[in-house]
Structure 1
Amino acid sequence: MNIYITRRETFSASHRLYNENFTDEENERVFGKCSNPNGHGHNYILEVVVKGEPNKNTGYVIDLKILKSIIRENVIKKVDHKNLNIDVDFLKGIIPTAENIAIGIWNELKDKIPDAKLYAVKLYETENNYVEYKGE
């Protein structure tokens, strides 16, 4: 039996979408206004989903206080109010699209959750756009 538990967190960050191997014109064509040389920002919503069986003694798959602490220590502290292109080690050399950010967050969390298994990372970049990564 698997139960799925979700913890939601928020963070604000800036980024610029560009490929250093493209000309300015190519970056503008591919990434549009998201390639603004001065960057732009988002108020992200992050949902981390873990799965597992409830512990017979506690009824928890994972204590949500523990999951909250893991997410904040390993992700939020690193990305909140940061420039994702410059300030975030796990995104160095990667175009910080929502897709790549979600993969990076997955990699930061995948081995750090006790007694449960990371199931999905869902990242909302806007209220209408989000990505979901399941480590496949």
Structure 2
Amino acid sequence: MFRREHFNAAHRLHNPAWNEEENARIFGKCNNANFHGHNYDLIVQLTGEVNPATGYVFDLKILSDLVKENVLDKFDHKNLNLDTEEFRTLNPSAENIAIVIYDILRTKISDAYDLKIRLYETERNYVEYPI
């Protein structure tokens, strides 16, 4: 089963261990010192046994509430580099954002369910975790 959500956030890809030229060469426009934003689409996938009493793998309302409280409320309309603890020292690449979201939700959802995160940074660019 899948739950699709959406959030908007700004970020800057930057490695403080590198000089400005190296950051610009590696990250290009994504290294803009004034940040840039994305309209992220998030798909949370849970796999598990169908509960015979409910007919659900997992209650979608509960999943929606978990995502809202633990992901959207943290990251939506935020500057990931400046406004969040998770990315204060972690480069907020799509890959790292997906891993952080996975780690947050994994602590809230029973290990009886397999969890996968798919994060679209653009219509054409997305990452999945775990692979």
CA shift at 1:116, angstroms? 4.8
Secondary structure of 1:12's aligned partner: strand
Structure-to-structure mapping, 1:63-78, within 5 angstroms: 63-78=59-74
Partner residue in 2 for 1:31: 27
Structure 2: distance between partners of 1:122 and 1:80: 17
Q: Which residue of the other structure, out of 100, 107, 111, is the alignment partner of 2:103?
A: 107
Q: How many residues align?
A: 131
Q: Are 1:53 and 2:57 matched, yes or no? A: no
CA shift at 1:111, angstroms? 1.9
Q: For the Cα contact (< 8 Å) 1:15–1:40, is it kept in 2?
A: yes
Q: For the Cα contact (< 8 Å) 2:11–2:79, is it kept in 1?
A: yes
CA shift at 1:117, angstroms? 1.6
Long gaps (5+) in structure 2: none
- TM-score after normalising by structure 1: 0.92
Report the AA paired with residue 6 of structure 1: F
Write out per-residue CA displacement over residues 69-125 of structure 1, whole angstroms, 9 at most, x where no aligned residue.
001111010000000111122222100000000000000000212485242100000
Report the AA paired with residue 11 of structure 1: F
Structure 1: distance between partners of 2:101 and 2:72: 10
Q: For the Cα contact (< 8 Å) 1:61–1:115, is it kept in 2?
A: no
Partner residue in 1 for 2:14: 18
- TM-score after normalising by structure 2: 0.95
CA shift at 1:33, angstroms? 0.7
Long gaps (5+) in structure 1: none
Partner residue in 1 for 2:2: 6
Secondary structure of 2:82's aligned partner: coil
CA shift at 1:21, angstroms? 1.1
Write out per-residue CA displacement over residues 37-75 of structure 1, whole angstroms, 9 at most, x where no aligned residue.
000000000000011111111111111000000011110
Q: Are 1:89 and 2:89 matched, yes or no? A: no
Structure 2: distance between partners of 1:50 and 1:64: 10
The structure 1 segments of at least 4 consecutive aligned residues displaced by more than 4 Å after TM superposition are none
Q: Report the identity percentage.
A: 55
